Structure 1
Amino acid sequence: MSNGKFKLSNLYLIFVFIVLYAPIVYLTVYSFNSGGTMQGFDGFTLEHYAEVMQDTRLLIIVLNTFIIALLSAAIATIIGVFGAISLHFLRVKSKATLLTLNNVLIVSPDVIIGASFLILFTIIGIQLGFTSVLLSHIAFSIPIVVVMVLPKLQEMNISLFDAARDLGASSWQVISRVILPYIKPGIYAGFFMALTYSLDDFAVTFFVTGNGYSTLAVEIYSRARQGVSLSINALSTLIFLFTIVLVIGYYYIERRNQRPANGVVSE
């Protein structure tokens, strides 16, 4: 029975991965198709990637996307880390309610969030464009950072704070020299998650972009509506590869952070 269950679980995992990755593999393979369509593979070519690299407007959009992603992830990480610390040390009955409200923002439909931001920016007079997109991405990234950092805070031993206080540490020294170094893996995780969400976001960005400003997700959607073009495949493949690099980079940093801790434990 155990062998049978093991085989069934393996088959299920294989099926899930095929469903998830088969469309991406199909898209990637046809990004090298010289035929210009996705009906048949006529031969290998890199002309679609060259077309992407020669598109000045697209390169500007790529730059806009990365600037928005890096800025929003950095700002959201700073706000989210101190928000998580405040929420963790909050000694009121509404703590669970505040955490629930934070989590609701994560699971709320992007269409509702995007429409809400559009109404807000219109009312307060913020012109749609770089500023509106940046503020929107910061707002929906903060709850993600909070969720990634809180578990590390909950793992901390309360005696660490008492020891720091007994040694004469101020509140800022406790945060900067005790709390922040301990929760560093959670901070990295929150930053990379916020960065990934910002790069991939379409629904919210679609509502708050103005004329003359766009991000990669919105641009790909706009081009896909005009018809099938294998340059879209090439662009999507490049984005997917960059996401893989981000994931590998995150796991590499996480493993480096865990090595000193493992060494201390072993001693």
Structure 2
Amino acid sequence: MKLKKRWKWSNLYLIFVFIVLYAPIFYLMYYSFNKAGNMHEFSGFTWEWYKEVFQDTRLMIIVINTLVIALLASAISTVIGVMGALAIRFVKRRRTKNALLSLNNVLIVSPDVIIGASFLILFTIAGIKLGFTSVLVSHIAFCIPIVVLMVLPKLQEMSPTLIDAARDLGASQWDVLSKVILPYITPGIFAGFFMALTYSLDDFAVTFFVTGNGYSTLSVEIYSRARQGISLTINALSTLLFFFSIILVIGYYLVNQRQARTNGMGVKR
């Protein structure tokens, strides 16, 4: 009986948490279809605000800028992050390994405002013009630690006997990396890529510091528009971004499921 009560209370708690988290999002989505143009009373269904989003040329350019930055940053940070995770995993000295892990975690635990201000000072001293390059470099920098943390558990999970067996069979260092290690840690690599992509798309604080005149991303643009007053165009844009995030999550889930089936079939054989 006690277990059942605990189970019920835990379920109620989870339901409450999900309501708190998702109620504002659904409230925003609901009024993105409001004909009245406000968030107080729903007068009728309309696609007007979504049409405005796609008819706004400047906004479409900003969307393209955001996607290009996110895809480039996540791809580059995934490559660097995988190399970093491999270096941390196979370093022999424990003290060096702990030091590398600590350095990797600095950007994750540091406040975004501090990171953004630091990058702003760095780019100013280096004479780098604020814009595409500054945003891309800063996004790569804070995405790398995320990729490392996604890939490391898969590397630690992998048995050293797999590598030893490959070497005993005459595999070169490149063969071991490309045919044994990378296929094994593929789920971690995809997880790192999608997490980096999400972080890059969502980031505001760091991006706010390193964007220049004439260049912007969606997070900064939404913030600047929201300060000017309530516009249901923001609701429509936010709804589209929410569904895009859901598609990313579903894509990641399907990739993981496919990888799990492939591994299962390999074990059966």
Confirm or deny a common fold (TM above 0.5): yes
Among all aligned residue pairs of Structure 1 and Structure 2, give the percentage whose two residues are the same amino acid: 72
Structure 1: distance between partners of 2:85 and 2:5: 44
Mapped to 2, the partners of 1:257 and 1:183 lie a distance apart of 10
| Residue in structure 1 matched with residue 49 of structure 2 by the alignment | 48
Give 1:1-267 correspondences, 5 Å limit. 1-92=2-93, 93-267=95-269
- Cα distance in 2 for partners of 1:8, 1:119 equals 50
Q: Distance in 1 between matches of 2:175 and 2:265?
A: 25
Aligned with 1:210: secondary structure? coil
In 2: Cα distance, 1:182 partner to 1:195 partner: 22
- For 2:263 and 2:172, how far apart are their aligned partners in 1? 25
**For 2:155 and 2:250, how far apart are their aligned partners in 1?**
25
The worse-fitting range, judged by mean Cα deviation, of 141-150 and 173-182 is: 173-182
Please state how far the C-alpha of 1:25 moved relative to its aligned partner.
0.2
Per-residue CA deviation, residues 123-159 of structure 1 (Å, 9 max, x unaligned), is 0111000000000000000000000000000011111
Structure 2 distance, partners of 1:115, 1:87, is: 28
Question: 1:70 and 1:264 mapped to 2: Cα distance?
Answer: 32
Q: Which amino acid aligns with 2:114?
A: I
Deviations 1:99-145 (Å, cap 9, x if unpaired)?
02212211211111000000000001110000000000000000000
User: How far apart, in 1, do the equivalents of 2:163 and 2:239 lie?
Assistant: 47
Distance 2:256 2:240 in 1: 24
State the distance in 1 between where 2:169 and 2:118 align: 48
Secondary structure of 2:214's counterpart equals coil
Provide the C-alpha distance between the structure 2 equivalents of 1:213 and 1:221, rounded to a whole number of angstroms. 14
Q: Distance in 2 between matches of 1:265 and 1:33?
A: 54
d(CA) in 2 for partners of 1:266 and 1:168? 25
Question: How high is the TM-score relative to the length of structure 1?
Answer: 0.98
Q: What are structure 2's unaligned runs of at least 5 residues?
A: none
Where structure 1 has 5 or more consecutive residues not aligned to the other structure, the ranges are none
How many equivalent residue pairs?
A: 267
* Distance (whole Å) between structure 1 residues aligned to residue 114 and residue 159 of structure 2: 39
CA RMSD, Structure 1 to Structure 2 (Å): 0.9
Deviation digits for residues 180-237 of structure 1 (CA, Å, limit 9, x no counterpart): 0110000000000000000000000000000000000000000000000000000000
Aligned AA for 1:73? S
SS at match of 1:94: helix
* Partner amino acid, structure 1, of 2:55: Q
Q: Which deviates more from structure 2 when the two are superposed, residues 104-113 or residues 215-224?
A: 104-113
CA distance in 2, matches of 1:46, 1:15: 31
- CA deviation digits over 1:3-22, x for unaligned, max 9? 11111011000000000000
> CA offset at residue 266 of structure 1?
4.0
